[in-house]
Amino acid sequence: MAEQLCTFWLNEIYFGIDVQHVQEVIRPQVMTRIPLAPPDICGLINLRGEIITVIDLQQRLGIGEFSKRSQNLQLESQGFNIVVSYHNEVVSLLVDDVADVLEFAENTLQTPPATLQGKMRHILAGAYPLAAGFLLAIDIEKLLNVQVI
């Protein structure tokens, strides 16, 4: 059975997340900050009456500074929110750009490159080879389980 991933760019790195967990992709919304929240939690958004936590994916993966976008309550129109759900938990992931849905043959997922270090290595499911590089696949369970990090 083929695996489909919603792909996106973050800090000039190509990532993917299983489409089964992607609820929708939206433009940045007005966000309310949460006092004393961890640095990887940008705040909360109201999505059609549902309050959703916004995660700064650069911070969660340990690949960049605190997002300038997440410091503003009124976000500029750059970037996207990928709304994901896993075991009835719905969160939004702040990313730079959204790309295509790609399909990969079963058993093509490889272990993450040995050069990856820190938080990102623990959150990845692996990497899919592409003609020009590779796609890093995020494990949604590990991403949302902050105790793993």
Cα angle value 48/49/52 (rounded, 5°): 90
**pLDDT higher at 72 or 62:** 62
Compute, in degrees rounded to 10, the torsion defined by CA atoms 81, 135, 14, 65: 90
pLDDT of residue 57 exceeding 70: yes
Per-residue CA distances from 35 to 41, 52, 71, 73 (Å): 10, 16, 12, 13
**What amino acid is encoded at 145 in this protein?**
N
Q: Mind listing the pLDDT tens digit for each residue in 67-124?
A: 444 444 444 446 899 999 998 899 999 999 999 999 999 889 999 888 888 888 899 9
The CATH superfamily holding the domain 3-144 is CheA-289, Domain 4 (2.40.50.180)
Whether 56 and 48 have beta carbons less than 8 Å apart is answered as no
Strands 80-86 and 22-26: antiparallel
Cα 28 from Cα 143, distance rounded (Å): 20
Q: How many residues are listed for the chain in this entry?
A: 149
Cα 94 from Cα 81, distance rounded (Å): 5
